[in-house]
Structure 1
Amino acid sequence: MPEWTLVTGANRGLGLEFVRQRLAAGAPVVATCRQPGRATALNALAGEHPGHLKVLPLDAIDPRSRAELVRELPLAIGKGGRIDLLVNNAGVLHGGERFGHLDGDTLEHSLRTNAVAPLLLTQALAPWLAGGARVANLSSQLGSIAGTTRFGTPSYAISKAALNMATVQLAHALRERGVVVVALHPGWVRTNMGGGQASEAPDESVAGLLRVIDGLSASDSGQFLDWTGARLPW
């Protein structure tokens, strides 16, 4: 049976680019997003790659949605199918935060989306991870505590720091199966989240990230790396 790539938040930006590049490399892909019916570019890719791209609904912060994905997955990848690459890409960035006006709901939503959801989704999908599979958690250099030099985007930064810890925890939990789990900073990328002034194009970032993923060894599990393979400070 083929081994699949599964990408969350695959309807746009880096997620969509991961889908494109994995398909181009000949890998079958399960692409998830909250509203597949509105994912025009993703559905067009599915039409171009019949049988090789399955688009499934997932609201990563919703336990019922995660459970439904687990139920549907065997139908998508086949009874003996396995995931050899899980890309936890879905995330949120709340802009306009100012000290003195921080909101608990915003902080909680960021934590649930950017840290809790990838952790619980990886746990739920663990039975379908192939031996030696890779789990790539899309983090950010803004989640580096040592690298923080100013106040800014606190809910995003805090949630990405939490994702980094979740990555280390998952690395230990899955080590005996040879599964490698890493936190990856994609660079400052020209997406809806990164903005038009960002320095990296999505295709360049994802190509770099996939080179890093392809080059991972067991000793890299639990590391925090950027899209060039450089290690980042916690």
Structure 2
Amino acid sequence: MSTRTRICLVTGANRGIGLEFTRQLLARGDRVVATARQPGKATALNTLAGEYPGRLHVLPLDITQPRTHAELARELPLAVGDDVRIDLLINNAGVLHSGERFGALGLDTLEHSFRTNAAGPLLLTQTLAPQLANGARVVNMSSRIGAIALTRRFGTPSYAISKAALNMATALLGQALSPHDIVVVAVSPGWVRTEMGGADAEVATADAVAGLLAQIERLAMTDSGSFFDWQGAPIPW
């Protein structure tokens, strides 16, 4: 990456891991475009925008709706300037449906998880590809739960299936974007203390994000298409 101020785009940034990514990226001096489905209700993000005038831009995005991907791409030049070059895209927006059990799975839940966790990040990255800088990094927020080799029980099926699909999307995007020296990786933040992870989770949100950012800084083209955790340990597919 060059010495100019980096531009980062974080989806699902209104809470949890996405919000913490936004905080830490701003703290290190980057410019951030943070997306939320309802920016007007993203209180913490809007507070940050007041603390970092001109460096944090909060824009609407529903990751399940491709039309909003196109709208975001059109809004970016207005937010950060005509020569948009995104250095870091963090596909963080995701959903975890609880209460699923074998024998009572529903297509609607499976479809919604797939649209949110797999198809959404894939299609958004495709839409934003012309605005990615040469040498950019694309980080897809996956999970160990999506690792087929680690499956030991029946649990959170729509989440697990959609994250496994996201991992394949990561490998494919790595191939598609390699001519521009863009590295694409899937990462697992671990069991993080967020609204999704719960209060009993093992890893503090700030620690998980700091660890992931440290790993992202070390990425090389040979890492594209890989899957690792917040401490850099590889995860089997």
**Corresponding residue to 1:56 among 56, 59, 63:** 59
Partner SS, residue 130 of structure 1: strand
Q: State the 1:81 CA deviation.
A: 2.8
Q: State the 1:3 CA deviation.
A: 3.1
- 1:155 paired residue number: 158
- 1:193 paired residue number: 196
CA deviation profile, 1:160-199 (whole Å, cap 9, x unmatched): 0000000000000000100000000001000011111100
Determine if contact 2:12/2:92 at 8 Å carries over to the other structure.
Answer: yes
- 1:72 paired residue number: 75
**Corresponding residue to 1:46 among 46, 49, 60:** 49
- 1:86 paired residue number: 89
Q: State the 1:69 CA deviation.
A: 0.5
RMSD of equivalent CA atoms? 0.7
Given the two structures, how large is their TM-score scaled by the length of structure 1?
0.99
**Corresponding residue to 2:25 among 13, 17, 22:** 22
Residue 36 (str. 1) matches residue 39 (str. 2): yes
Residue 12 of structure 1 aligns to which amino acid in structure 2? R
Percent sequence identity is: 67
Runs of 4+ deviating beyond 6 Å = none
Q: State the 1:63 CA deviation.
A: 1.7
- 1:228 paired residue number: 231
Gaps of 5+ in 1: none
Q: State the 1:23 CA deviation.
A: 0.2
Given the two structures, how large is their TM-score scaled by the length of structure 2?
0.98
CA deviation profile, 1:11-31 (whole Å, cap 9, x unmatched): 000000000000000000000
Determine if contact 1:143/1:158 at 8 Å carries over to the other structure.
Answer: yes
CA deviation profile, 1:102-135 (whole Å, cap 9, x unmatched): 0000000000000000000000000111111000
Gaps of 5+ in 2: none
Residue 128 (str. 1) matches residue 131 (str. 2): yes
Residue 145 of structure 1 aligns to which amino acid in structure 2? I
- 2:212 paired residue number: 209
